[in-house]
Copies of this chain bind each other. A is one copy, B any other.
């Protein structure tokens, strides 16, 4: 499920950057696969809890799996959104620079990959590193907003393209947020410690 979600980020962003809609042709099919996995994982998790009455780490593992599959499904949704932005963008001439979109996409994709790697290897140190990278994506989102706004004001012809790029940067930011959620779930799974909303500093 995670590797399809990662591939969806890749395809949607590559189609955008290379202005080639065919690179995103598989997105609808991949979205269906991801959706199907989510239903299947929830279903299996429910069965396992009901039939096996898991405790402690096993229970945390099952609940983490449900949460992670929900985040992966939403990552897929964001890739679908980016594909829609790409299709809107293709109606207009190219902006000189794709601002910081490719860099944001690289970081967000690496965060998804590393969060899942941390899950598979039960590595909470790696998961904590993923959480810290969210700020870099937020900073690039702000940068994209400011740069694009400047473009749009200085040359109103770029407004429709600029708008789509700003929306793409928001979708990539959401992907990084979901990767962060996954990483937080891994920390909870491994350490039985809830670090969401900085819970450890509040308690």
Write the A12-54 contact mask toward B (1 if CB under 8 angstroms, else 0).
0000000000000000000010011011001100100110010
Distance between Cα atoms of A38 and B197 in the complex (Å): 10
In the complex, what residues of B have CB within 8 A of residue A170's CB? 167, 170
The answer to whether B153 and A159 touch across the interface, beta carbons within 8 angstroms, is yes
A132 within 8 A of B: no
- Please classify how large the interface on chain A is, using the bins under 10, 10 to 19, 20 to 34, 35 or more: 35 or more
A194 within 8 A of B: yes
Write the A175-203 contact mask toward B (1 if CB under 8 angstroms, else 0).
00000000000000000001011010010
A128 within 8 A of B: no
The answer to whether A160 and B167 touch across the interface, beta carbons within 8 angstroms, is no
How far apart are A58's CB and chain B's nearest CB, in angstroms?
10
Given A39-B196, A196-B39, A197-B35, A149 and B156 contact (CB-CB distance below 8 Å) = no
Distance between Cα atoms of A53 and B66 in the complex (Å): 18
A7 within 8 A of B: no
Interface residue from B159, B194, B197 paired with A152 (Cβ < 8 Å): B159
How far apart are A184's CB and chain B's nearest CB, in angstroms?
11
The answer to whether A56 and B50 touch across the interface, beta carbons within 8 angstroms, is yes
A63 within 8 A of B: yes
In the complex, what residues of B have CB within 8 A of residue A39's CB? 194, 196-197, 199
A118 within 8 A of B: no
A163 within 8 A of B: yes
Residues in chain A within 8 A of chain B (CB atoms): 32, 35-36, 38-39, 42-43, 46, 49-50, 53, 55-56, 59-60, 63, 66-67, 70, 145, 149, 152-153, 156, 159-160, 163, 166-167, 170, 194, 196-197, 199, 202
